[in-house]
Chains A and B, each alone.
Chain A
Amino acid sequence: MPIVSLSQIAAARSGDKGEGSNVGVLAKSDAAYAFLKEALTREAVAAHMSGINRGAVRRYEADNLRLLNFLLEDSLGGGGSASLLTDAQGKTHGLALLRMELDVPEEILSELES
């Protein structure tokens, strides 16, 4: 299976939730969603985002939207106006997650290309 970045098979949006952020990952096809439901675990996201998030990670699914939603509980350096960070609202965390590299089955990629 080729190793590609998550951005090849999914899109994302992120924003602030209190002292943390949420990252919604939107799969680009039904097959990509089925694959990501298995592959994009809470643990994998926590490890990839460990430079950004110091807290726990929670994970939710919405099949109708092909959405996996991750809550990064301590990712804003305090959150709100207490944060000193440039990205105090986690606006860029979605793109950070899309940089993750994954072993993706060939047929998922070829379906998306066609």
Chain B
Amino acid sequence: MPENKIVRIANGQGFWGDSILGPIRLVEEGPLDYLTLDYLAEVTMSIMQKLKGRDPNKGYATDFVSLLDRILPTLVEKDIKVVANAGGVNPQACMEAVLEVMRSHGLEGEKVAIVEGDDILDGIDGLMSSGEEFLNMDTGAPLSSVRERVTSANVYLGAFPIAEALATGARIVITGRGTDPGLVLGPMIHEFGWQPGDDDLLAAGTVAGHIVECGAQCTGGNYTDWRSVPDLARVGYPIIEAEADGSFVITKHEGTGGAVNIDTVCHQLAYEMGDPAAYLTPDVIADFTSFKIEQDGPDRVRVSGVKGAPATSLYKVSMSYSDGWKSVGELTISGPDALEKARLCAAIVWERLAMDGCEYPEEERLEEYVGAGVCHRGIPGAETDAPPEVILRMGVKGPDKAKVSRFGPELVPLVTSGPPGVTGFAGGRPKAAEIIGFWPSLVTKDKIQTTVSVLTA
């Protein structure tokens, strides 16, 4: 390994639903060694289990396959590897679909690897009888209170299985649930030969992964001083220039929009942060208070000196369970007297529902007056009594689907039977949707087996 080897790892997808232009432009507009893509949120796993239940060939991020169809030739031409958690709850089916796309591009001989072992939905009872309690990390409650309603259960795996998958020579590595920073740390482990116990190095890769895991949120997106950020339409997605000693630079391709400076990077370091001195992953405990951060030229930020401590003997587990129903709808009310009329509308809806035997307790109903100060409720100066118009947004929730469903049909009638100036009902009647609850817990690492499989197109 050359002493000054630099590995370029970019993240082109901050969440399922992020712009497809991010990864396309990352592979086209400059040099790159690895492209990582994050498709999974907690709610996604539950949706994917349902899709897989209906069709055994579903349950993964199909967007990923569409993306590969567009970028595969460039990936091969420029020798870029991809690590994506697009496997959802069905990495096997995702691999088959990717192999199919490879063959359609005439790329026989290219390899795809998958990491499995995170999906423990079918193993919960066995693990419980072996002593795993799956107590709720936040409340301490026993799993038995929701056990029969659990719809998905996944372990957050770490980065080492990803490195193992890359060692097979795979062009594409597909995982199920894992930590987001692990998508970035995996390629570093593979390229630099880092080992379990190299805690400062693993922590450095984890910090790098955290910075890029939300895509453009470290390159000028969602940034307080937004006026200072040029050309957000063409925002460059983040690239890590990683080195073997754990130091790295965050940058973006030349000529792209957005900005990379200490401030944009620190914004993302603060995102979804708990105790900055103890950022827990299955690979290491990273200390976000330990390192040095400095500007290293235009749109380049260098991080060095990251410290880490040994990981715990536990994996985090995320289970989802069916937690009742909700229904939300909205109408627009014009002025004059928009807020007063909107309040009357809300009162009418609740009263009509009560007349038909549907009363919703305070904690199971909501009315918001969007435009009068909803996001910053109760903050001095952030609310107004005189908006020129408002969106009346109302919702209910609860365990009884029929009662929740009863709400929707009483919203739209306000157009003709409420005060004047009620419009914006184009979306039709709100419908009841299932609430997915989350059950965070822990499991002993030794009881989880991860496997890596590889196939050739």
A17 at the A/B interface (Cβ < 8 Å)? yes
B274 A80 Cβ-Cβ under 8 A = no
B224 A65 Cβ-Cβ under 8 A = no
Nearest residue, chain A, Cβ from B289: A62
Report B279 CB to chain A, min CB distance, Å: 11
Contact of B379 among A26, A84, A96 (CB under 8 A): A96
B377 A52 Cβ-Cβ under 8 A = yes
Report A69 CB to chain B, min CB distance, Å: 5
Interface size, B (range): 35 or more
Nearest residue, chain A, Cβ from B377: A51
Contact of B436 among A49, A77, A80 (CB under 8 A): A80
A92 B376 Cβ-Cβ under 8 A = yes
Contacts of A1-44 to chain B: CB distance below 8 A: 7, 11-13, 15-19, 22, 24-26
B376 A96 Cβ-Cβ under 8 A = yes
Instruction: With A13-B222, A17-B272, A98-B224 as known contacts, state yes or no: A81 contacts B266, CB within 8 Å.
Output: no
B376 A52 Cβ-Cβ under 8 A = yes
Instruction: With A48-B379, A82-B437, A86-B393 as known contacts, state yes or no: A15 contacts B276, CB within 8 Å.
Output: no
Nearest residue, chain B, Cβ from A24: B270
A69 B328 Cβ-Cβ under 8 A = no
A15 vs B221: C-alpha distance when bound (angstroms):
14
Interface size, A (range): 35 or more
B276 A69 Cβ-Cβ under 8 A = yes
B214-234 interface bits toward A, Cβ cutoff 8 Å, 1 = contact, 0 = none? 000100001111000000000
B42 at the A/B interface (Cβ < 8 Å)? yes
A29 vs B267: C-alpha distance when bound (angstroms):
15
B116-146 interface bits toward A, Cβ cutoff 8 Å, 1 = contact, 0 = none? 0000000000000000000000100000000
Report B100 CB to chain A, min CB distance, Å: 33
A87 vs B374: C-alpha distance when bound (angstroms):
8
B436 A13 Cβ-Cβ under 8 A = no
A64 at the A/B interface (Cβ < 8 Å)? yes
Contacts of B268-285 to chain A: CB distance below 8 A: 268-277
Report A58 CB to chain B, min CB distance, Å: 8
B379 A99 Cβ-Cβ under 8 A = yes
A101 vs B422: C-alpha distance when bound (angstroms):
37
Report B392 CB to chain A, min CB distance, Å: 12
B292 at the A/B interface (Cβ < 8 Å)? yes
A82 vs B366: C-alpha distance when bound (angstroms):
12
A51 B224 Cβ-Cβ under 8 A = no
Report B48 CB to chain A, min CB distance, Å: 15
B435 A82 Cβ-Cβ under 8 A = yes
Contact of A18 among B138, B271, B374 (CB under 8 A): B138
Interface centre among A12, A65, A95, A98, by most B CB within 10 Å?
Answer: A65
Interface centre among B138, B268, B273, by most A CB within 10 Å?
Answer: B273
Contacts of B393-442 to chain A: CB distance below 8 A: 393, 395-397, 434-438, 440
Contact of B435 among A18, A61, A81, A95 (CB under 8 A): A81
Report A5 CB to chain B, min CB distance, Å: 9
B323 at the A/B interface (Cβ < 8 Å)? yes
User: Which B residues have a C-beta under 8 Å from some C-beta of A?
Assistant: 42-43, 138, 217, 222-225, 263, 266-277, 288-293, 323-324, 326, 328, 365-366, 368, 370, 374-382, 393, 395-397, 434-438, 440
20 additional A-B residue pairs with CB within 8 Å, beyond A18-B138, A101-B380 = A7-B224, A17-B274, A22-B274, A24-B270, A25-B270, A26-B224, A26-B266, A50-B378, A51-B377, A51-B378, A60-B277, A62-B288, A64-B290, A65-B269, A81-B326, A82-B324, A82-B397, A84-B395, A95-B224, A96-B376
Give the 10 A-B CB pairs with smallest separation, nearest first.
Answer: A51-B378, A24-B270, A11-B224, A84-B395, A84-B366, A92-B375, A62-B276, A96-B376, A62-B289, A13-B267
6 A-B residue pairs with Cβ-Cβ distance under 8 Å, sorted by A, are A49-B379, A60-B274, A61-B289, A62-B269, A65-B293, A98-B224
